[in-house]
Chains A and B, each alone.
Chain A
Amino acid sequence: MNTHANADLLARYVAGDPGLDDATLWSLETHLESCRACRARLGTTMDGGTVALLDRVHRELGQRIAAGPAPYRRRRWWSFGRRWTVAWSVLPWLAVTVGMLATALLFDRAYPQYPSMVLLVAPVAPLFSVAAAWSRRADPAWELLTATPRAGLWLLLRRTLAVLAVLIPLLMLAGWRAGQSPARWLLPCLVFTAATLALGGRIGVQRAAYVLTAAWAAGVMVPTVAEREPSALLQPGSQPGWALALAVVGAIALLRRADYRRLTSRN
């Protein structure tokens, strides 16, 4: 009904006339919901008793609302920030990593004639923090989390990116102070991080971090220190190889994403 309600109809509506059929009633109420003028006329059509009743309801409701708790104000940024605090278990590992980087930097400054320690540490620096961000032991709500649609590789990836967002600038800083260009260590660092995710679904993220760090230490760190010769793997010339490795490892992580969908005792 787009036309205004006539006085007769309003009077019958207020009186609760049983003769009004459902269709008329429905269209009248729809109109009243959207028309301020007709609602005002509805008020003047009512008898004194009804008006008094409505006044009392209005007053008492107002009192109860005033006495009750205030409406909850949603703080969007607060809930956004709050989500990240569930991964607080990462903080100790971030601190350990920063300590390690500082030590490596001190070594580089003290013994410039030796191969750079900062360069040797950088590729595996984020791994333990990433492992701590995806740990059943560190997360009390792990089982709840696993049953939700967001659980899985993407959630782990978000947390990994957060770790990288903190560590990469620090690595840049340490690398700059040690005179090492990011062109030598950034791609290897991303490859090892992606490899942790690719392997983590099978054997657990923590174990993947151990295995990869141990492999790097045995294969590159120890020989470099023993021979006092910078590793060929960390030269600008080997970067195309690392880029290819990143593509392969990233693809494996994506293909193996189903590994992260269930609760496993390995994490």
Chain B
Amino acid sequence: MVRTVSAAETAPQTYAWPVKAEGLRVQAGRHLAVNGLDLALGTGVHGLLGPNGAGKTTMMRALATVVRPADGRLELLGQPVHTRADLRGVRRALGYLPQHFGFYPRFTVREFVEYMAWLKEMPAGDVPGAVQRAIERVGLADRADKKMKTLSGGMLRRVGIAQAIVNDPQILLLDEPTVGLDPEQRMTFRDLLRELGADTCVLVSTHLVEDVVAACTDVVLVDTGRLVWQGTPQELARWGAAGDAGDSPAERGYSALLRTHRAGTR
């Protein structure tokens, strides 16, 4: 489908990294779930790995501009978002699937994605086409006019992905997008991720190391709210030794890196 390219899209980029965090601290309730995170993400698919409670969801929320960092710097698309500044411009270029994806059960898939497109301030004329395209990309074209309460968990997750990509975001944040997807849907989703990663900065949080190896160009490993390690999936696999926990080289690499990090911080 041909779409009009706006002047803003062809304007030269004035920042080095779509996502850049320095000494970022973010509170979740009373404790600091993100505690001194330094991170730079470019275009591509970044897999965010870490044990439960590592601060992945809080980090995603901060990057989605949903919560304000307590301290440190956070720049998205070259604009500071850790301040009390206006976030409209950045948010128009953002796609976000939260871990707990809430929806309106009486809305159809199309109505819901349309509503999200409206909230994202897309031009009214672009909405119907963009909504149809997003629904097709997640493979829900045959369910587009079904009420959301009739959908299975995996389908709802895909509606969540559709609403996140409807505005062709420059930064796409997906928190546990593969939960509830069956193996075949996971394969299709990995293809979609690779496609999106060609021109978008995608950050996918997951607990499945195999997802990261299959679909990501870059691995971001966090623990206790800090960056532990960043590199390619191949480099991750090289870290593992035979004695480390895990079923694949990448899983062993993951265990080894976490173990080394934890030994170092004690």
Q: Does A142 contact B (CB under 8 A)?
A: yes
Instruction: Give Cα A149–Cα B86 distance, bound, in whole angstroms.
Output: 9
Q: In the complex, what distance in Å separates the CA atom of A147 from the CA atom of B142?
A: 28
- State whether the Cβ of A229 lies closer than 8 Å to any Cβ in chain B: no
Cβ of B119 and Cβ of A150 under 8 Å apart? Answer: yes
Q: What are the residues of chain B within 8 A of A140 when measuring CB–CB?
A: 102-104
Q: Encode contact with B along A63-99: 1 for CB under 8 Å, 0 otherwise.
A: 0000001001010000100110110000000000000
- Which of these, B85, B107, B144, B163, contacts A144 with CB under 8 Å? B163
Contact B115 A83, beta carbon cutoff 8 Å: yes
Asked if B46 lies at the interface with its beta carbon under 8 angstroms from chain A, I say no
| Shortest beta-carbon contacts, A-B, top 8 | A140-B102, A148-B119, A149-B91, A149-B88, A258-B84, A263-B66, A147-B96, A147-B64
What mask results when residues 136 to 160 of chain A are scored 1 for a CB within 8 Å of chain B, else 0? 0001111111111111000000000
Q: Mark B57-97, 1 if CB is under 8 A from A, else 0.
A: 00001001111100000000000000011111101101010
Cα–Cα distance between A231 and B95 once the two chains are bound (Å) = 53
**A263–B145 CA distance with the chains assembled, in angstroms:** 30
Q: Which of B87, B107, B110, B119 contacts A261 (CB 8 A)?
A: B87
Whether A142 pairs with B102 at a CB distance below 8 angstroms is yes
B103 touches A151 (CB 8 A): no
Question: Are the CB atoms of B115 and A86 closer together than 8 Å?
Answer: yes
Interface size of A by CB at 8 A reads 25
Ordered by A's residue number, 17 sampled pairs between the chains whose C-beta atoms are within 8 Å are A74-B128, A79-B115, A82-B107, A82-B111, A85-B106, A139-B102, A140-B102, A141-B102, A144-B101, A144-B119, A147-B65, A147-B66, A148-B119, A149-B92, A261-B87, A262-B65, A262-B68
Query: What 11 additional pairs, Cβ within 8 angstroms, besides A142-B102, A261-B65?
Result: A69-B141, A72-B145, A79-B115, A85-B106, A86-B115, A143-B61, A144-B96, A145-B119, A149-B120, A150-B120, A262-B68
CA distance A263 to B120 in the complex (A): 16
Q: How far is the CA of A146 from the CA of B98 in the complex (A)?
A: 11
A151 contacts which chain B residues (CB < 8 A)?
91, 119
Q: Which residues of A contact B217 (CB under 8 A)?
A: none
A109, B254: Cα distance in complex, Å: 76
Query: Is there contact, CB below 8 Å, between B98 and A144?
Result: yes
* Given A86-B104, A143-B66, A144-B163, A149-B111 contact (CB < 8 Å): no
> Using Cβ atoms and an 8 Å threshold, which residues of chain A touch B119?
144-145, 148-151
Question: How many Å from the CB of B105 to the closest CB on chain A?
Answer: 8
Interface size on B, residues (CB 8 A): 40
Q: Is B235 part of the contact surface with A, judged by Cβ < 8 Å?
A: no
Within 8 Å CB of A83, what residues of B?
Answer: 115, 118
User: Taking the complex as formed, is B22 at the interface, i.e. its CB lies under 8 A from any CB of chain A?
Assistant: no
Contact B102 A149 (CB under 8 A): no
Minimum Cβ distance to chain B for residue A102 (Å) = 30
* A258 → chain B closest CB, angstroms: 4
Using a CB-CB cutoff of 8 Å, which residues 79-127 of chain A contact chain B? Answer: 79, 82-83, 85-86
Q: Give Cα distance in the complex from A145 to B67, angstroms.
A: 13
CB distance from B165 to the nearest CB of A (A): 13
A79 near B66 with CB under 8 A, answer: no
Contact A149/B103 with A82-B111, A263-B67 known, Cβ cut-off 8 Å: no
CB-defined contacts of B98 to chain A, threshold 8 Å: 143-144, 147
B residues in contact with A148, CB < 8 Å: 91, 116, 119-121
B111:A72 contact, CB within 8 angstroms: no
Tell me how far the C-beta of A150 lies from the nearest C-beta in chain B, rounded to whole angstroms: 5
Q: Please, which residues of chain A bring their CB within 8 A of the CB of B92?
A: 149
Contact B94 A147 (CB under 8 A): yes
A74 CB contacts on chain B under 8 angstroms: 128
Contacting residues, chain A, for B111 (C-beta < 8 A): 79, 82
The reply on B132 being an interface residue by CB < 8 A is yes
A141 to B107, CA, bound (A): 12
Is B114 at the interface (CB under 8 A from chain A)? yes
Q: How far is the CA of A150 from the CA of B118 in the complex (A)?
A: 8
B266: interface (CB < 8 Å): no
Residues of B within 8 A of A82 (CB): 107, 111, 114-115
In the complex, A181 Cα to B100 Cα: how many Å? Answer: 49
> What CA separation (Å) do A142 and B96 show in the bound complex?
12
Contacting pair B84 A146 (CB below 8 A): no
Q: Which chain A residues border B66 with CB–CB below 8 Å?
A: 143, 146-147, 262-263
A72-B132 contact given A141-B103, A144-B101, A144-B102, CB 8 Å threshold? yes
